[in-house]
Chains A and B, each alone.
Chain A
Amino acid sequence: MKKLIATILVGSVLSVGVIADDWDDDNPAIFFSEDGADMWLEPQGPNEVSLEECDLGLGAGVVEGAYAQLPRYFEDTGKVMDLEARLVHCMVTLQGRDADEITAHPYSLSGETGTEIEALSTWIAEQSLDMPIQPPQDHDAEKAAYTLGEKLFYYRAGTHDFGCSTCHRQSNTRIRLQELANLTTADGAGAAYGSYPAYRVTQGVVRSMGWRMRDCARQQRLPEMQLGSEASVALQVYMAVNADGAPMTAPTMKR
């Protein structure tokens, strides 16, 4: 009961806006970030614990700077993981929650106003703001993920023969009116990778990099890319390594 009251007090202070006079832009991602900060601290699942002990790669509970060094290899799972895969891992191992339940509906559908993955990603990425994007390339698995990511980037398939490279290996081109990032260059990959999670004004919610991978695959006429999957993570490694230390700018606001 005491805990509940404390939560309510914290919650109400954040929501009334007494501390709300310190922002510079029109980006509604701030609301998602606030939610994410709360969710990190909120005890959940059968184990009724928070995510505070979650290791995002820099040690248990270290959030600051963690996003800028993901995806990376984790000893405990023997896998290269992106933020979203790692969050699911922590929700399962720390909180005792069901992985399938979390991954069944990770991203907002039409008319929805945010999911846990979207909010947590926003807040966690924000804790790497202005830091250089530097995922490690030390472990063999991290190097292999980059190599795979490059192959996937050029892999053409589907009814329209599209690959990531169809749109994202040239500079100074547009699709309709949108400038396309050349993801083979540090500038292009840095600007694109560092800008997610991003509030998408066309959708009214913050979208994560995992969602971006899923949605690119959809537009390539491919099946549904799964959160934290081998291909999704490898493509993110490819972009993040290509970014070569460019700064994180997320959460941004995009069309």
Chain B
Amino acid sequence: MHKLLLSMVVLCLASLNVFADDSAYNALMNSMKAINGVGLDRIEQDEMQAACSNPQSMIADPEESERLRQSAMAAVKKPSDGVYLGDWKRGKEIAANGKGLQYSDDQNDPNGGNCYACHQLDPDEVAYGTLGPSLTNYGMRGQSQAVLDYTWSKLWNATAWVPCSHMPRFGHNGVLTEQQLKDIMALLLDPESPVNKH
């Protein structure tokens, strides 16, 4: 009982985190100007962002962490037509494209996934980042429903698997469309994709 009470208090404090100290939010609101479709609303944090912004970059309480992970998983939208794989050639373009949703970008252009910023994919592309693991030969996992579901949900919202993951929530935040996500799926899983040809 004692333990439960305590964890409830901690939970409350954690969820109130953003209100308890809004100095960073206030400073950004005072320091930024809306421009070319990028408004000050971008500064507002959702629950996940607020929970993942303390200087350890992780929430302290494992229970809160698990709650957020589960709620992220529950909100994953599977492909409406049940088809998970698109065209790896289009996926290749999306993976290489680093633009989208910056105020310097043309809002009429499609957003990129910028996968190469952090991951190795096609080994012929030498300019890859190392913030995330290499995904070369990702397709070795096959195309079972479990692999399709895992990969899709990871792309949709990586925090459904790893609390406070640094990977953008491409589906959850609408960075990529359903079709674009399918194309990235194909880039990762299609045996003909250059990611899997080596």
Enumerate chain A interface residues (CB-CB to B < 8 A). 148, 150-163, 165-167, 169-170, 172-177, 180, 217-219, 221-226, 229-232, 234
Say whether A148 contacts B23, CB under 8 Å: yes
| Cross-interface CB contact of B23 among A151, A166, A219, cutoff 8 Å | A151
**Distance of A217 Cα from B54 Cα, bound (Å):** 18
B75 at the interface (CB under 8 A from A): no
- Among the 9-residue stretches B1-9, B97-105, B139-147, B180-188, the one with 4 or more Cβ atoms under 8 Å from chain A is B97-105
- Among the 9-residue stretches B33-41, B63-71, B82-90, B189-197, the one with 4 or more Cβ atoms under 8 Å from chain A is B33-41
Say whether A157 contacts B42, CB under 8 Å: yes
Q: Which A-B residue pairs are the 3 nearest by beta carbons?
A: A229-B31, A231-B31, A160-B168
Query: Which residue of A is nearest B42, CB measured?
Result: A158
Say whether B173 contacts A155, CB under 8 Å: no
Q: What count of chain B residues pass the 8 Å CB interface test?
A: 45
Say whether B43 contacts A159, CB under 8 Å: no
A177 to chain B: which residues have CB within 8 Å?
126-129
**Distance of A167 Cα from B25 Cα, bound (Å):** 20
A-B contact count (CB 8 A): 132
Query: Which residue of A is nearest B56, CB measured?
Result: A154
In the complex, besides A165-B57, A172-B130, 8 extra interface pairs with C-beta distance below 8 angstroms are A151-B55, A154-B57, A155-B45, A156-B53, A158-B101, A222-B28, A223-B39, A224-B34
15 contacts between A and B (CB under 8 A): A151-B53, A155-B24, A155-B45, A156-B52, A159-B175, A174-B130, A175-B117, A223-B40, A224-B35, A225-B32, A229-B30, A230-B30, A231-B24, A231-B30, A231-B31
B43 to chain A: which residues have CB within 8 Å?
157-158, 222-223
Query: Which residue of B is nearest A232, CB measured?
Result: B31
**Distance of A173 Cα from B132 Cα, bound (Å):** 9
> Are A231 and B166 also in contact (CB < 8 A) when A156-B45, A157-B43 are?
no
Is chain B's interface secondary structure helix, strand, loop, or mixed overall? loop
Say whether B127 contacts A159, CB under 8 Å: no
Say whether A176 contacts B127, CB under 8 Å: yes
Which of B24, B25, B28, B43 gathers most chain A CB within 10 Å? Answer: B24
Enumerate chain B interface residues (CB-CB to A < 8 A). 21, 23-25, 27-28, 30-35, 38-40, 42-45, 48-49, 52-55, 57, 101-104, 116-118, 126-131, 166, 168-169, 173-175
| Cross-interface CB contact of B27 among A152, A170, A222, cutoff 8 Å | A152
A183 to chain B, nearest CB (A): 12
A108 to chain B, nearest CB (A): 14
B38 to chain A: which residues have CB within 8 Å?
221-224
A117 to chain B, nearest CB (A): 17
Say whether B169 contacts A161, CB under 8 Å: yes
Say whether A234 contacts B131, CB under 8 Å: no
| Cross-interface CB contact of B53 among A155, A174, A218, cutoff 8 Å | A155
Query: Which residue of A is nearest B29, CB measured?
Result: A231
B131 to chain A: which residues have CB within 8 Å?
166-167, 170, 173-175, 180
> Are A161 and B57 also in contact (CB < 8 A) when A152-B28, A223-B34 are?
no
A100 to chain B, nearest CB (A): 12
A205 to chain B, nearest CB (A): 16
Say whether B33 contacts A161, CB under 8 Å: no
Which of A159, A162, A167 gathers most chain B CB within 10 Å? Answer: A159
Say whether A155 contacts B42, CB under 8 Å: no
Say whether A231 contacts B28, CB under 8 Å: yes
Query: Which residue of B is nearest A218, CB measured?
Result: B102
| Cross-interface CB contact of A154 among B40, B53, B104, cutoff 8 Å | B53
**Distance of A169 Cα from B55 Cα, bound (Å):** 10
B122 to chain A, nearest CB (A): 14
A172 to chain B: which residues have CB within 8 Å?
130
B166 to chain A: which residues have CB within 8 Å?
161, 166
